[in-house]
């Protein structure tokens, strides 16, 4: 498999559930990102990891908890979410954090619905 994959593609959960989103990149990259795409709002950066260390936490509520066990995998653990958290969650990766040379490659996203 190539590129950036995300599972599940669709997720419906209640506000009291705990679930996790998974992202895997097969590109040998060192940096990984979580973005949130809500209707009628720009894509919002949530977290950035470089070499498995978090380098950016963009004021994200603690009900979202990222985990990067290695440079190929990124998780987003979800608990006690709110209906307004319903969105498309996109994972991306890049070789490093240098924007003059590194392109971000995106996965297909997980469509999350919180009831």
Partner 1 sequence: AQSVTQPDIHITVSEGASLELRCNYSYGATPYLFWYVQSPGQGLQLLLKYFSGDTLVQGIKGFEAEFKRSQSSFNLRKPSVHWSDAAEYFCAVGGSQGNLIFGKGTKLSVKP
Residues in contact with partner 1 by CB under 8 A are 4, 6, 31, 33, 40-43, 45, 48, 50, 55-56, 58, 90, 92, 94, 96-109
- Nearest to partner 1 of 15, 106 (CB atom): 106
- Least distance from partner 1 to the Cβ atom of residue 3, Å: 9
For the chain, give percent helix, strand, coil, nearest 5. 5, 55, 40
Give the DSSP letter string of 33-44: EEEEE-TTS--E
Instruction: Provide the token pair at 34.
Output: 């979580």
- Least distance from partner 1 to the Cβ atom of residue 108, Å: 5
């Amino acid at each position: 498999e190539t590129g950036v994959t995300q599972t599940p593609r669709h997720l419906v959960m209640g506000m009291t559930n705990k679930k996790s989103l998974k992202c895997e990149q097969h590109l040998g990259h060192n940096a990984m990102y979580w973005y949130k795409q809500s209707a009628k709002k720009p894509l919002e950066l949530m977290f950035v990891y470089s070499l498995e260390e978090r380098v950016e936490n963009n004021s994200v509520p603690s009900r979202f908890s990222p985990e990067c066990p290695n440079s190929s995998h990124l998780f987003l653990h979800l608990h006690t979410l709110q209906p307004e958290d319903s969105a498309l969650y996109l994972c991306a990766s890049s070789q490093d954090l240098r924007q003059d040379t590194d392109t971000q490659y995106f996965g297909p996203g997980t469509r999350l619905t919180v009831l």
